[in-house]
Structure 1
Amino acid sequence: MTITVFIRYQIDPFKRTLFEAYAKRWLTIIPKCGGDLQGYWMPHEGTNNIAFGLISFPDLAAYEAYRARLRTDADGVANFASAEEHQFILAEERTFLRQVTA
């Protein structure tokens, strides 16, 4: 059963461009580490401080293996460090979803 990790970010609305660059760097890092990146979404209109990312995996074991690879991947570590240094992510929530309908 495929699972999708739904990540809800609360971002600093004055640092949206930094978050967008961070999200774009994941486009190569996530697949390299074993995730099936569904995409990232940025605020456009309305709420200006909420963004989303979705990544799919065959199962929870694949997700755990991905997280382990991510922690040792030089590009992944650098991207996490950038987020911490610039503090554009204020909060992050993860929800694990399974698809009901296609």
Structure 2
Amino acid sequence: MTITVFIRYQIDPFKRTMFEEYARRWLSIIPKCGGDLLGYWMPHEGTNNVAFGLISFESLAAYEQYRARLRGDKEGMENFGHAEEQKFILAEERTFLRKVEA
């Protein structure tokens, strides 16, 4: 069963550009580590402090393997470190979803 991790970010609205650069770096890191990146979405109009990311995996086990590879990935760890230093992510929520099939 494929699962999709839906990540909801609360971001500092005055640091949206920094978050967008952070998300852009994941575009190559996530696939390299085994995730099927569906994309990142930035605020456009309306709420200016919420962004989203969606990543699919074959299973929860595949997600756990991805997380292990990510912890060993230099670029990934640098990206996490940059986010912590700059504090442009105020909160992050992860929801694991499965597609409704007929």
* TM-score category (smaller protein): over 0.9
User: 1:81 corresponds to which residue?
Assistant: 81
Partner of 1:42: 42
Quote the Cα distance in structure 1 between the aligned partners of 2:52 and 2:70.
19
Structure 2 CA distance, aligned partners of 1:36 and 1:43? 22
Query: After TM superposition, what 4+ stretches of structure 1 lie above 3 angstroms from structure 2?
Result: none
Identify the residue that residue 19 of structure 1 maps to in structure 2: 19
Partner Cα distance (2:85, 2:64) in 1 = 25
Tell me, in whole angstroms, the C-alpha distance in 2 between the residues paired with 1:57 and 1:26: 16
Matches within 5 A, 1:1-102: 1-101=1-101
> 1:101 Cα shift?
4.5
TM-score, scaled to structure 1? 0.98
The CA RMSD over aligned residues, in Å, is 1.0
Give the unaligned 5+ runs of structure 2: none
SS at match of 1:82: helix
Write the distance in 1 (CA, Å) between the matches of 2:101 and 2:94: 21
The separation in 2 between residues aligned to 1:63 and 1:34, in whole angstroms, is 8
The letter for the 2-side match of 1:93 is E
Q: TM-score, normalised by structure 2?
A: 0.98
TM superposition shift of 1:98: 0.3
How many pairs does the alignment contain?
102
Alpha-carbon shift at residue 20 of structure 1 (Å): 0.1
- List gaps (5 residues or longer) in structure 1: none
Identity of aligned residues (%): 80
